[in-house]
């Protein structure tokens, strides 16, 4: 195996997907940013959730908002629904894995909050159930997915669909878009200079 060629190939594919994201996702990114900013300004919060690598992204992004992204500033209310081991294992054991996120949204979500489900396929049953609960409770149900959007289409609004089918490329774009979201929220709230 030519490792140098493989490395170059991975970077080339990454750059192609990044270019496609730049061309197609500015509008849903702006929509999601505006909804998050409106929620925070009205005393709401942002709830992030997903499975596997998307669970890690949820934790990463919630931390960027609650602690800091660009510079020291006032805290922004954000929670990753992937971190409470007791809640996750109790819900999984007592209610079923599919209700991990919906139960937490039922408990913690308030009208006007933003629930951001992250799923590369858009078909994770527990993410879909979480988004359905968010809509039922009057939250903004938003999502990050891959090219097709899966079952998130028509459920998550806004839905940021990375125009690719490979999980690795979708995940790379999810964290890039997510970090840009954190920066845009800080700037739009006037907490840092843009």
- How many H helices and E strands in the chain? 7, 5
CA distance 70 to 122: 30
The Cβ of residue 64 has, within 10 Å, a number of other Cβ atoms equal to 20
pLDDT score at 113 = 98
Tens-place pLDDT, residues 139-178: 999 999 999 999 999 999 999 999 999 999 999 999 999 9
pLDDT score at 24 = 98
Identify whether the C-beta of residue 135 lies closer than 8 Å to the C-beta of residue 156.
no
pLDDT score at 126 = 98
Q: Is the pTM of this model over 0.95?
A: yes
pLDDT score at 32 = 98
Mean pLDDT, contiguous 10-residue spans, the chain (194 residues): 96 98 98 98 98 98 96 96 97 97 98 98 98 98 98 98 97 98 97 84
The three-point CA angle 18-21-24 to 5° equals 155
48's enclosing H/E stretch is strand 46-50
Read off φ and ψ for residue 113, nearest 5 degrees: -65, 165
pLDDT score at 73 = 94
For the stretch 43-61, what's the b/e string if a residue is b when 16 or more beta carbons lie within 10 angstroms of its beta carbon?
ebbbbbbbbebbbbbbbeb
pLDDT score at 194 = 73
Identify whether the C-beta of residue 37 lies closer than 8 Å to the C-beta of residue 188.
yes
């Amino acid at each position: 195996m030519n490792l140098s060629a493989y490395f170059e190939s991975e970077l080339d594919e990454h750059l192609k997907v990044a270019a496609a994201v730049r061309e197609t996702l500015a509008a849903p990114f702006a929509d999601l940013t505006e909804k998050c900013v409106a929620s925070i300004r009205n005393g709401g919060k942002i709830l992030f959730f997903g499975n596997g690598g998307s669970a890690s992204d949820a934790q990463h992004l919630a931390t960027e908002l609650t602690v800091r992204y660009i510079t020291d500033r006032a805290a922004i209310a954000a929670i990753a629904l992937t971190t409470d081991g007791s809640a996750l294992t109790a819900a999984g054991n007592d209610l079923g894995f599919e209700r991990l996120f919906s139960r937490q949204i039922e408990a913690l979500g308030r009208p006007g909050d933003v629930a951001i489900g992250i799923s590369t396929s858009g078909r994770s049953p527990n993410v879909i159930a979480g988004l359905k609960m968010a809509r039922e409770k009057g939250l903004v149900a938003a999502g990050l997915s891959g090219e097709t959007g899966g079952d998130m289409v028509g459920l998550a609004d806004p839905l940021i669909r990375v125009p690719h089918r490979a999980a690795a490329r979708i995940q790379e774009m999810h964290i890039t878009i997510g970090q840009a979201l954190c920066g845009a929220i800080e700037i739009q709230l006037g907490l840092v200079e843009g």
